[in-house]
Amino acid sequence: MTPPPSANNALVLFSGGQDSTTCLVWALERFTRVETVGFTYGQRHVAEMEARPTILAELRKTLRWAERLGADHVLSLAVLADIGGSALTDDVAIEMGEKGLPTTFVPGRNLLFLTTAAALATRRGIKDLVGGMCETDFSGYPDCRRTTLDAVEKSLALGFDDPFTIHTPLMHIDKAETWALAERLGGREFVELIIADTVTCYRGDRSQRHVWGFGCGVCPACELRASGFERYAAGATTL
Ligand code: ZN
């Protein structure tokens, strides 16, 4: 049965990576009921998706979050793998591609994620979506820009005949500040959870543990996570 709509419910786009895990706890601190959704889209590496249940179980150990954490959903968007051509779905080198976009860009991914999440949210009586999109120090993905998300909000409102809010708490902060935000939200314990359990590496490598967590250490996602942690650990970042 669909729960009644409430301004205090949120649906978090939760991949199992550092950013979406931070967003999840951001939402748990603000909304009384928080559900999560992850997408399978033929990712070459499933380490992030495999990390999701572990992270959710760890978060449930904190009472105030356990009381608020609701259903987890996993939806298939295999059409993205059918289209292919990205380093995340095919055997393609991680490098700069056409139009100054890295080959890790999956065209249409965030637009599909948000539209699908809004459809699920409608069924769940939820009007607030939360995502880890960030335009500060990332790869210039056009579907991570706030202007894109403002337009998506408008198209959802028209297409669903109902307003949605897309919250993007990381939009204007850098990776060091994302670590600092995690500490502010859940203390060192939550920072440790991110280090131990989240996966951001483009290669899905969980064989090597660094001070900032698991990863190959050399892909762009690992480099960003590592350099952000270094600046955060040096104490230069407050939030
Ligand atoms: Zn990596």
Q: Tens digits of per-residue pLDDT, 168-226?
A: 999 999 999 999 999 999 999 999 999 999 988 888 888 889 999 999 999 888 999 99
User: Distance, CA 19 to ligand 1 centroid (Å)?
Assistant: 15
Q: Higher pLDDT residue, 117 or 144?
A: 117
User: Distance, CA 231 to ligand 1 centroid (Å)?
Assistant: 19
Confirm whether 139 is domain-assigned: yes
* pTM, 2 dp: 0.90
**What's the CA gap between 145 and 133, in Å, rounded?**
7
User: Distance, CA 129 to ligand 1 centroid (Å)?
Assistant: 28
User: Distance, CA 160 to ligand 1 centroid (Å)?
Assistant: 38
User: Distance, CA 31 to ligand 1 centroid (Å)?
Assistant: 33
Helices assigned H by DSSP within the chain:
18-28, 47-59, 63-66, 79-83, 109-124, 146-159, 175-197, 220-233
Domain span at residue 53 reads 6-199
Region of poorest pLDDT, from 47-56, 71-80, 100-109 = 100-109
User: Distance, CA 216 to ligand 1 centroid (Å)?
Assistant: 4
**What's the CA gap between 48 and 200, in Å, rounded?**
7
Confirm whether 211 is domain-assigned: no
Confirm whether 163 is domain-assigned: yes
Q: Is the pLDDT of residue 138 over 70?
A: no
User: Distance, CA 227 to ligand 1 centroid (Å)?
Assistant: 13
Q: For the chain, count helices (H), then strands (E).
A: 8, 7
Let me know: does 175 contact 224? Beta carbons within 8 Å. Answer: yes
Q: Is the pLDDT of residue 1 over 70?
A: no
- CA-to-CA separations, 179 to 17, 41, 57, 101, 205, in angstroms, rounded: 13, 27, 21, 26, 20
Q: Identify which of 190, 188, 233, 187 has the alpha carbon closest to the alpha carbon of residue 210.
A: 233
Confirm whether 215 is domain-assigned: no
CATH number at 189 reads 3.40.50.620
Q: Identify which of 162, 156, 124 has the alpha carbon closest to the alpha carbon of residue 31.
A: 124
User: Distance, CA 112 to ligand 1 centroid (Å)?
Assistant: 25
- Average pLDDT, stretch 37-63? 89
Let me know: does 36 contact 24? Beta carbons within 8 Å. Answer: yes
Confirm whether 234 is domain-assigned: no
User: Distance, CA 200 to ligand 1 centroid (Å)?
Assistant: 7
Confirm whether 222 is domain-assigned: no
Question: Token pair for residue 5?
Answer: 């709509």
User: Distance, CA 223 to ligand 1 centroid (Å)?
Assistant: 7
User: Distance, CA 55 to ligand 1 centroid (Å)?
Assistant: 19
Let me know: does 73 contact 37? Beta carbons within 8 Å. Answer: yes
Q: Is the pLDDT of residue 136 over 60?
A: yes
User: Distance, CA 141 to ligand 1 centroid (Å)?
Assistant: 18
- Number of neighbouring beta carbons within 10 Å of residue 71: 11
Confirm whether 50 is domain-assigned: yes
User: Distance, CA 32 to ligand 1 centroid (Å)?
Assistant: 35
Confirm whether 229 is domain-assigned: no
